[in-house]
Amino acid sequence: MSLTPGYGETPVDGDELAALAPAAKDLLGGEVTKAAVYDLEQALQEDTAEAFLIAVLDGSLTVDNLLTDQFVRDLHRRLYADIWLWAGIFRKRELNIGVAPENIAVELRNSIETIRYRWEHTVDWTPHQLGVAVHAETVRVHPFVDGNGRTTRLLADLVFAATQETEHLEIYDWDLDKQRYIELLRDYDRHRDPRFLADFIRTQYLES
């Protein structure tokens, strides 16, 4: 009797397989499994995160560059374009989370512009809270078919790093109590105050 494969051994098929980029199919070869795709996504995320963090540290990528809806799309594209055809493209179907597809472009732009304006004209947010606000607001909109979590967490790290004025930079520690994290994101959807979520998300020093 054959055993039911674990999630990682489960083949990618159907619509998901059709959404794989040709280059990814060639690279992965044979029967593509979810584990193989996940490993490829992880490798690309590490490379992308390193490249963008270096750009933040050398000053070529500033908070003004980061706080735009176009950068959110570009970041998603950099993370996924080598793997998925939907990279950098706003979702076109309704989900039980996020805003309606027809509102994504306007909502994302307005939300990020509002955050940038507040950061520039008020003094009540710390860099820690600003990064969390960008993360939570982009999660609320949920602009993409998939990859919203990874994209918005990396975005938060970049914004946080770009706004710190210290020799030893910090990034967020995303090893979280997932249930509590989701509860706080849902709370944010109601009150739009990032401070409670920011208090929950710890930080760690950025390694050299």
Q: What sign does the CA torsion over 8, 150, 138, 106 have?
A: negative
Task: List, for residues 14-59, the tens digit of each pLDDT value.
Answer: 999 999 999 999 999 888 999 999 999 999 999 999 999 999 999 9
Q: Model-level pTM?
A: 0.93
Encode pLDDT of 104-160 as tens digits: 999 999 999 999 999 999 999 999 999 999 999 999 999 999 999 999 999 999 999
pLDDT at 6: 52
**Inter-axis angle of helices 127-141 and 178-191, nearest 10:** 80
Which pLDDT score is estimated for 2?
A: 37
Return the domain boundaries, the chain.
62-205
Into which CATH architecture does domain 62-205 fall?
Orthogonal Bundle (1.10)
Query: By three-state DSSP, how is residue 146 classified?
Result: coil
Q: What is the percentage of the chain residues whose pLDDT exceeds 90?
A: 90
